[in-house]
Amino acid sequence: MHRLHRLLPRVALATSPLLAGGLATKTPARSQSTATQKTLRVAVVQMLVGSDKATNLKNAERLVNQACDGNADVVVLPEIWNSPYAVDQFRKHAEPIGHECGPSVSLLKTLAKERNVWIVGGSVPELSDDKVYNTSPIINSDGVLVEKHRKVHLFDIDVPGKIRFFESETLTGGDSATVTPLTEEHALGVAICYDVRFPELAITMRKKGASILVYPGAFNTVTGPPHWELLARARALDAQAFVVCASPARNPDSAYQAYGHSVVVDPWGAPLERCAGHGEEILFADLDLTRVAEVRNSMKLLDQRRPDVYGTFIEGVDWKE
């Protein structure tokens, strides 16, 4: 049985080849595990994305393999890692994700099986029935696509003099909260970028069993500095869950400037690990899964909610403006 089906005590991390070639990495110190401690090592790939799809795939393969060399249990890629983040590029780079998959997801399925690791494939443009979705594939250690999340809230923003970007010009929004079992006791919730601004979605993922929320997200240099980590911490507090936010690295040649600064937050809202900046980097975080129950037992937020006062769609009540 794979370690993600029953987490075993972890051993100290051996010297990793991740430092070879000058790639920035950040690996937290590991303490000796006990028989009762359950930890999950997450590797966040803050990847540089260019205009050539084939080059992006080769870069993703290199970085996923390096993350696996660092003993990752789960590897997380950023939003739109196979294509420039641009409304006029999504359809051009889109591919099917399902019984048959295009080259991007097929690559991730092969890597997951070969390296015996789960992969949250950031997101790629998905083509389905002539519609294009911003979709995150979730692949287990057998190389099986177990779930996919279609970005629910499309990024439509117009900040005068700073940024205008409308995903809805080319993308179609999804219509469901996505949660998939990860271990015997824990499930993984996945949403994408702008989804992180909506606490109802985070709480819905928790109600569906998630204790780890993953948000691949390409925040920009306007919204990133004031909001990116703040939102990660807020959603961790809302859902009393670990939150993993994975950004692409900033490409100076791109019209869209990603913020970077990928971050992992614990259920108490405290940042565990951060990328040093906006460059290409692999970030490791060891999640002590016992913290989820500790935090939820200390404050029973889900039981203490008052939907009779402020009913939301979580309980099936229409939201009233």
Active site residues: 79, 151, 193
Alpha-carbon span 125 to 95, nearest angstrom: 7
